[in-house]
């Protein structure tokens, strides 16, 4: 019947979208490399007592071809990322963004890419990407997190 045909077509479209999100390149010359996560105590994140890179968040060079960026999201800023503290990373290099929250749920999204994750207290979001094109990208909190949500953002400078 027609209905079955349309249902099948719709399902194919949905599968197609998921495949695009999972395997597609991130746009603007950004390639997703890996995706994983972990657990962490949000109270320890708040007090800077996790014994991890979150205690002094920022960009950490692992070697010439891999950098890790520890980012703490909190009402209403990214550290680093917001205000006069942009995230500065090299182009053409594997960069792992490791993001967690010190309080409530936030979002972590980099404009012109499909780097986009929820930031859930107690969890570490891990996104590895490679920026082929230098430039300044916007950083946006896309999960409602309170009165200052609309102003929670920042920038990523790829040099």
Residues 101-120 that bind ligand CUA (CB under 6 A): 106-107
Binding flag, residue 143, ligand CUA (CB under 6 A): yes
Tokens of 79: 């550290």
Binding flag, residue 144, ligand CUA (CB under 6 A): yes
How far apart, in whole angstroms, are the C-alpha atoms of residue 33 and residue 45? Answer: 26
How far apart, in whole angstroms, are the C-alpha atoms of residue 15 and residue 27? Answer: 20
Question: How many other β-carbons are positioned within 10 Å of the β-carbon of residue 115?
Answer: 22
How far apart, in whole angstroms, are the C-alpha atoms of residue 122 and residue 34? Answer: 21
Q: CB nearer to ligand CUA: give 72 or 141.
A: 141
Binding flag, residue 139, ligand CUA (CB under 6 A): no
Residues 55-84 that bind ligand CUA (CB under 6 A): 76
How far apart, in whole angstroms, are the C-alpha atoms of residue 30 and residue 58? Answer: 20
Q: CB nearer to ligand CUA: give 67 or 97.
A: 97
Size of the site for ligand CUA (CB under 6 A): 9
Q: State the binding string over 13-52 for ligand CUA (x if CB under 6 A, else -).
A: ----------------------------------------
Q: CB nearer to ligand CUA: give 5 or 147.
A: 147
Of the candidates 93, 98, 116, 85, which has an alpha carbon nearest to the alpha carbon of residue 53?
Answer: 98
């Amino acid at each position: 019947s027609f209905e079955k045909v349309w249902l099948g077509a719709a399902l194919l479209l949905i599968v197609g979208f998921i495949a695009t999100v999972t395997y597609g390149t991130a746009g603007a010359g950004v390639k997703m490399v890996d995706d994983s996560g972990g657990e962490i105590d949000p109270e320890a994140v708040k007090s800077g007592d996790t014994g991890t890179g979150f205690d002094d968040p920022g960009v950490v060079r692992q070697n010439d071809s891999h950098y890790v960026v520890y980012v703490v999201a909190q009402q209403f800023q990214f550290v680093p990322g917001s205000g006069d503290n942009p995230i500065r990373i090299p182009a053409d290099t594997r960069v792992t963004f490791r993001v967690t929250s010190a309080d409530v749920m936030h979002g972590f999204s980099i404009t012109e890419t499909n780097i986009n994750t929820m930031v859930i207290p107690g969890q570490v979001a891990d996104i590895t990407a490679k920026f082929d094109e230098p430039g300044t990208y916007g950083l946006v909190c896309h999960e409602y997190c309170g009165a200052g949500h609309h102003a929670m953002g920042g920038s990523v400078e790829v040099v």
